[in-house]
Amino acid sequence: MHHFVRRFAVKTTLALAATLAFASAASSATLTTKLAVDNGFTAYLSTSNSTIGTQFTAGHDWTTVATSAVELGAAQQYFLQIAAYDDADLAGLLGEFSLTGTGYHFADGSKKVLSGSSLLTGNNDGFTGNYTALTTIDPRNTTQWNAVSGIDPNAQWVWARWYDFDNTSFISLEILADAPVAGPLEVPEPASLALVALGLLALSRVRPKSKQND
């Protein structure tokens, strides 16, 4: 019976300690994108500005805002990559990008970026790492763009250089991990500490029976 209690106390204490350690270190963040692209797009999440990442959404109906979300993993640098393509003679991208949760921010320290911001850069060549400022497009060039809703009205239509030919814009947006905050170690909740203490107490009280001499 004593061996059973001892084993139970050991397992319980170790499990609680592991749970507390994981809870104190865990953090999560979600990148949400809202896009209207004439004519379509594919979006990726990458850890390199010169290597195409993993696709997480796509769309080909610029009259309806395409909303998608992707979870960010361990603290590191990320890049949102958007390949926006034009099927005809007039192109444009309207976007709203936001971060929720903890651990990440955009390059200006914010949690929200709109198309038209200098943080979005691009080219017409590919995800090469060489990007320049995007071209801001006057939406009055076409009355149909004015019908798009669901994105922050302060966002601007943009494209990489040429926007009135059959081409593709490769657009990049950097996402940075928050810097570690120096300070005291996170203290577990009192109830959790009490459970660990009980486990340790059980370990101290339970001792194996000594062998009797023949």
CA atoms 69, 36, 47, 25: torsion sign = negative
Other Cβ atoms less than 10 A from the Cβ of 153: the count is 6
Confidence of residue 60 (pLDDT cuts 50, 70, 90): very high
56: CB partners within 8 A, 6+ apart: 43, 44, 45, 68, 70
Residue-wise pLDDT for 92-132, tens only, equals: 999 999 999 999 999 999 999 999 999 999 999 999 999 99
- Residue 6's pLDDT is 47
- Residue 149's pLDDT is 86
User: Which of 93 and 6 is assigned the larger pLDDT?
Assistant: 93
Bridge partner residues of 83 (DSSP) = 42, 170
Q: Is 55 helix (H, G, I), strand (E, B) or coil?
A: strand
- Has residue 12 got a pLDDT over 90? no
Confidence of residue 134 (pLDDT cuts 50, 70, 90): very high
- Has residue 183 got a pLDDT over 90? no
Percent of the chain with pLDDT over 90: 56
State pTM to two decimals: 0.73
Query: CA nearest 41: which of 76, 72, 85?
Result: 85
Other Cβ atoms less than 10 A from the Cβ of 178: the count is 13
CB 178 within 8 A of CB 104: yes
Residues 7-24, mean pLDDT to the nearest whole number: 41
User: Which of 20 and 28 is assigned the larger pLDDT?
Assistant: 28
Residues 158-181, mean pLDDT to the nearest whole number: 91
Peptide bond into 39 cis (omega under 30): yes
- Has residue 213 got a pLDDT over 70? no
- Residue 46's pLDDT is 97
User: Which of 146 and 57 is assigned the larger pLDDT?
Assistant: 57
CA atoms 155, 161, 163, 168: torsion sign = negative
CB 171 within 8 A of CB 33: no
Vertex 193 angle, CA 187 and 5, to 5°? 150
Report which secondary-structure segment, H or E, holds 181: none
- Give the DSSP letter of residue 154: T
Mean pLDDT of the chain: 80
Residue-wise pLDDT for 187-207, tens only, equals: 555 555 455 455 555 555 555
Q: Is 2 helix (H, G, I), strand (E, B) or coil?
A: helix
- Residue 209's pLDDT is 52
